[in-house]
């Protein structure tokens, strides 16, 4: 159920996050559909199995169509400033976590992706950058 509310509120920033939420939603439906198929194979509960298959089948198709609609939202490919991997990010997002290194990324005034945690920028890159005591 949490996956539905997350998808509904648009709580995903990248295509990969959308897919992960979608799979979380689809997995239980596929399991119930499978149970329905098994019930269809029994002699006593065929009718129950058929109803379960029909209901979950309709839900699965509905979720698929919804996913396709959500994926059509405009997005752009951005390189992560930490690990330089490519993220497919939906437009209108203020901040997101990288799909690969999971570190937070925000946008500067020009819309370019920059690290969101300040610790990264102030991290010394060599021993000469370390503060002298
Ligand atoms: Zn990254």
Q: Could you tell me which residues come within 8 angstroms of residue 103 by beta carbon, excluding any fewer than 6 positions away?
A: 80, 82, 83, 97, 115, 116, 117, 120
Give pLDDT, residue 125.
59
85 in Cβ contact with 74 (< 8 Å): no
Give pLDDT, residue 9.
80
- Tell me, in angstroms, the distance from the centre of ligand 1 to residue 41's CA: 48
- Tell me, in angstroms, the distance from the centre of ligand 1 to residue 112's CA: 14
DSSP string of 18-78, one letter each residue = HHHHHHHHHHHHHHHHHHHHHHHHSSSSHHHHHHHHHHHHHHHHHHHHHHHHHHTS-EEEE
CB count within 10 Å of CB 69 equals: 9
Q: Where are the domains of the chain?
A: 2-71, 75-127
67-109: per-residue pLDDT in tens?
899 989 999 999 999 999 999 999 888 899 999 999 999 998 8
- Tell me, in angstroms, the distance from the centre of ligand 1 to residue 87's CA: 8
């Amino acid at each position: 159920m949490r996956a539905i509310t997350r998808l509904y509120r648009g709580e995903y920033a990248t295509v990969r996050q959308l897919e992960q939420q979608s799979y979380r939603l689809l997995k239980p439906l596929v399991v119930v559909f499978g149970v329905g198929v098994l019930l269809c194979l029994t002699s006593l509960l065929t009718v129950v199995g058929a109803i379960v298959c029909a209901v979950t089948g309709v839900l699965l198709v509905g979720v698929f169509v919804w996913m396709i609609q959500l994926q059509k939202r405009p997005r752009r490919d951005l390189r992560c400033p930490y690990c330089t991997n490519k993220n497919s990010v939906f437009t209108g997002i203020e901040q997101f976590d990288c799909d690969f290194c999971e570190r937070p990324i925000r946008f500067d005034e020009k819309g370019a992706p920059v690290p969101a945690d300040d610790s990264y920028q102030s991290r010394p890159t060599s021993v000469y950058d370390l503060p002298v005591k």
